[in-house]
Amino acid sequence: MSSILQLLTVALLLYAGCSDAASHCGDCGNTSVPYPLSTGTNCGDQSYKIRCTAGSLWFDTLNSTYPIESINPSTQRFVIRPASFAGNTCITTDFNSHGIQLNSSLPFNVTSSNTIFYLNCSNALLGSPLNCSSTSLCHTYINATSEAAACEQARLCCSFRAGGSTTSYSIRVRNEGCMAYRSFVNLDYSLPVSMWPAPGVEIQWVSPSEPVCQSQADCDEGSNSTCQPDPSSAGLKRCFCVTGLSWDPISGSCVNNATCQTSGGCNGSTNHTPLIAGLTTGLGATFLAVAVGTLVYQRRRRIKEAQERLAREREEILNANNGGKSAKIFTGKEMKRATNNFSDERLLGSGGYGEVYKGILKDDTIIAVKCAKLGNTKGVDQVLNEVRILCQVNHRSLVRLLGCCVELEQPLMVYEYISNGTLYDHLHGLHPGIRSELTWLRRLSIALQTAEGLAYLHSSAVPPIYHRDVKSSNILLDEKMNAKVSDFGLSRLAETDLSHVSTCAQGTLGYLDPEYYRNYQLTDKSDVYSFGVVLLELLTSQKAIDFNRGPDDVNLAVYVQRKVEEEKLMETIDPMLMEEASDRDLETIKAMGFLALGCLEERRQNRPSMKEVVEEIDYIMSIAAAKAAEV
């Protein structure tokens, strides 16, 4: 039996690769710490920090600390023990720190394997998408366990699955919402409560990139990886695997899927020579083949299961349409044919998380196909989030979702093709169209249509939606120069029991609400601020961030506000507009300038809502149109 174990051990070593390209952390008590998790400064990946204290592992959130109960390196997940009830109350002990709050800029997120019960909730939750009915699973839990006895007479009890766009990074408790929660991982609803697993919250980590290095000495001692510049991060170097080997983020090493081919065995060492020689026997080869075959089979099965789960999630998103125009599920074959197998000739644009291709369906409908980059978890999340958002909205000023593909490995979103470039392109001469097309009335129309789309998200969508990345490059123009708001990858659903959503500031420099940047509180007024910058772009034809302006005026909002304080607003207006403008137009141009400044107020309470912005632009436009008709 021991010889068999030796053979299997060697098989595992050969499958894992010839040499580790990253430093693994030592065990914490009786628990091994898999790569990339890091318990020290000299091991693991420093973006994946956890703590080892007194032989136990702990996970730090933004505002609290939770013990790690188990780790599964193959699925890149671990389970933390959530807070318990405080005494004989229906309040969890992390109530004062507002529950589990992950830092969304770190590579950890709450998985959709968690079934969450919110306990002791206010009546405001009745308007939420959660299941707060008397037949919810949450009530089954309360009625069948002494642990939650104090919650029997408490307020509402709601159930939901975590991992959606608003729950990927938090399980929030607070007085105005819910005061307690319970979470169960991979809960089988058919089982009685007595057979449920212990409470836990499953956390997933994003696959790590190759280790960071400054010189070759920071990489492995052999020749399996070399320290080279990271093409995706300026100034950063990583240990990239040499030709013939590939990076395995689970083992944290460069792997050869077959066997080590170097004459000295793994890592160029002769230490394994006796065992490798033993594998030349028929029995050894048989065990090796079985071990490697089993590992390959299990890996393929995990990949297939993950793809099936992803496909189910995409279908559920499309089928859970809440008022928006129903979308279609496209086949992988249709998408490959439409985009000429995603050829470079069809590439419309590329971002940090994916690419957009032009496609032509069999009925000659022209489409745009947005693809998440393979292996980029955040890119996958963004595309799925965009699908989830657009399934709930349908407005003439928002880009329309046509459907998505569930067959291919990376998520594909299909939406209407807008053929005339972006507002940014037209304002800054990056589109073959003539900038003189942007007359004053046309700019007013674009501003009004964009504002109407955002107002719809804030006031008519249920729950409300915060776009979070309003900018001129996300405003598409069709052949008639009508505006369509696009790119909902960063958008967030508002939580019905909260005045804001707490999240790390994301967006584009020059458009970010300074108050959102300071306190991480996202509201509809954050979009209002960004829209104010777009209004300034329409008025000035200048970029939101431009280093060709003076060092104190790089930021367009700051530049225009300074000019206003000097009573020189009109000096900032696009000279092309000023040349064409009559004295009658100057009044409406000034009015639009002061509306933009109102959107840029430092305190969000002083900014108008998007509905108020729509009304004001509509009024300004009616005056401008009437004066144009008089000419």
Rounded CA-CA distance 410/374 in Å is 6
CA 28 distance to own-chain centroid: 32
The answer to whether 276 and 10 are in contact (CB under 8 A) is: yes
How far lies 538's CA from each of 52, 441, 568, 579, 623, in Å? 54, 11, 17, 15, 18
- Look at residue 100 and give its three-state secondary structure: strand
Rounded CA-CA distance 245/36 in Å is 19
How far lies 158's CA from each of 81, 86, 203, 615, in Å? 20, 19, 21, 38
**80: nearest Cα among 175, 201, 196:** 201
Amino acid (1-letter code) at residue 409? E
306 Cβ contact list (under 8 Å, min separation 6): none
**446: nearest Cα among 467, 465, 421:** 421
- Could you identify the residue written with the tokens 């086949």? 331
How far lies 219's CA from each of 20, 69, 212, 493, 538, in Å? 9, 32, 9, 43, 51
188 Cβ contact list (under 8 Å, min separation 6): 196
- Active-site residue, selected from the candidate residues 469, 487, 497, 585: 469
- Look at residue 170 and give its three-state secondary structure: strand
- Look at residue 67 and give its three-state secondary structure: strand
Alpha helices in 474-521 (DSSP H): 514-519
Rounded CA-CA distance 188/167 in Å is 21
Amino acid (1-letter code) at residue 60? D
Task: Give the DSSP letter of residue 311.
Answer: H
Rounded CA-CA distance 428/437 in Å is 13
Neighbours of 309 (CB within 10 A): 12
Residue 469 designated active-site: yes
Neighbours of 620 (CB within 10 A): 20
- Could you identify the residue written with the tokens 């999630």? 313
**Residue 328 φ/ψ, nearest 5 degrees:** -105, 150
Torsion over CA: 149, 151, 157, 162 (sign): negative
**Type and span of the H or E element at 332:** helix 332-338
- Look at residue 71 and give its three-state secondary structure: strand
- Could you identify the residue written with the tokens 């793809």? 307
Rounded CA-CA distance 479/420 in Å is 6
- Look at residue 157 and give its three-state secondary structure: strand
Amino acid (1-letter code) at residue 266? C
| Torsion angle, alpha carbons of 517, 521, 527, 531, to 10 | -30
Rounded CA-CA distance 461/492 in Å is 12
Rounded CA-CA distance 502/61 in Å is 14
List, by residue number, the catalytic residues. 469
